Structure 1
């Protein structure tokens, strides 16, 4: 008997979601919509129910000051470029994670936070809100951590650049699972 998979609505959204890196339109991204999406996104799997995440929302009213402050951590010749870059999206969500007190817990916390971010991206896509998870060098900079008041037992996981868009990028094909899957065999 051959198994024929019917794509569910969830599978369709997973396959259609794209990272929206540019081409944002002028529609504002409100803190309310981001909060609403996060209320569902945080239902990600989380080891020990640690829920190791917290967030900083940067909306249009704060964005220019935010971009200038973050850009100021770069060498002078790169500051204008970084400031312009951070002003491209309509809003930014900084995702901060609590570090684990050992490698296992740190990996678990990162995994949970990554799952939560994927949930957020899927929920946003469903609302036609584009998101891209950015891990630029500034997320590792102690000066940026100081600006954002990141605690000693925390780390920045990424900046989620967000904005509404008029045209989605073309899909990029995935390597077929059969090329990545093996069955365990003894001997």
Structure 2
């Protein structure tokens, strides 16, 4: 199947135009629209169609569970939360949606690698499908997602990996594109 040139250019521009969004408008994002986006994104390349993903979507008052789990990882031995962590928690509460993407950690390295690749491809599909609809996000892999306290508080089981926390909303600020290295500097073409 070959697409029309204008369709190809539109896809190229979508890919090049997508940005990670850190500053969000307070406007709510429809959960139904996120489900629709996930329905599209699931068409990512996926060896043997194992569909190695599951999602935890935190919206409205449910965001408190996500934020509280984060805060538990920040508490000192005295139980106090540092001011920096409190500010980050306030920022997290303002973001309309948090989507945690989880995969099973298969003990077979090849399967683990294939599953991780599939989940990452799906996350890129999520970002592109959302961007096409005017929804922005940032893919986070902060150190606290590895903390057993956070994992347990949000229901991530032993033998599962958090691949991403996607913070989702309508962008209040769209950053400029950052320069990328030309591919000719990164490719070694072997012809014989």
TM-score (norm 1): 0.89
C-alpha separation in 2, matches of 1:99 and 1:20? 29
**Aligned residue for 2:59?**
59
C-alpha separation in 1, matches of 2:65 and 2:88? 13
CA RMSD of aligned residues (A): 1.8
Match of 1:118 among 112, 124, 133: 124
Segments of structure 1 that go 5 or more residues without pairing to the other structure are none
TM-score (norm 2): 0.87
**Aligned residue for 2:145?**
139
**Aligned residue for 2:34?**
34
**Aligned residue for 1:108?**
114
**Aligned residue for 2:50?**
50
C-alpha separation in 2, matches of 1:124 and 1:101? 32
Could you tell me whether the CA contact under 8 Å between 1:44 and 1:116 is conserved in 2? yes
**Aligned residue for 1:172?**
178
Could you tell me whether the CA contact under 8 Å between 1:71 and 1:82 is conserved in 2? no
Could you tell me whether the CA contact under 8 Å between 2:37 and 2:129 is conserved in 1? yes
Q: 1:91-102 to 2 correspondence within 5 Å?
A: 91-102=97-108
C-alpha separation in 2, matches of 1:88 and 1:73? 19
Which consecutive segments of 4 or more residues in structure 1 shift more than 6 A?
A: none
Match of 2:90 among 84, 88, 92: 84
Structure with greater contact order relative to length (CA < 8 Å, sep ≥ 6): 2
C-alpha separation in 1, matches of 2:134 and 2:37? 12
Segments of structure 2 that go 5 or more residues without pairing to the other structure are 76-80
Q: CA deviation at 1:185?
A: 6.3
**Aligned residue for 1:16?**
17
Matched, 1:69 2:75: no
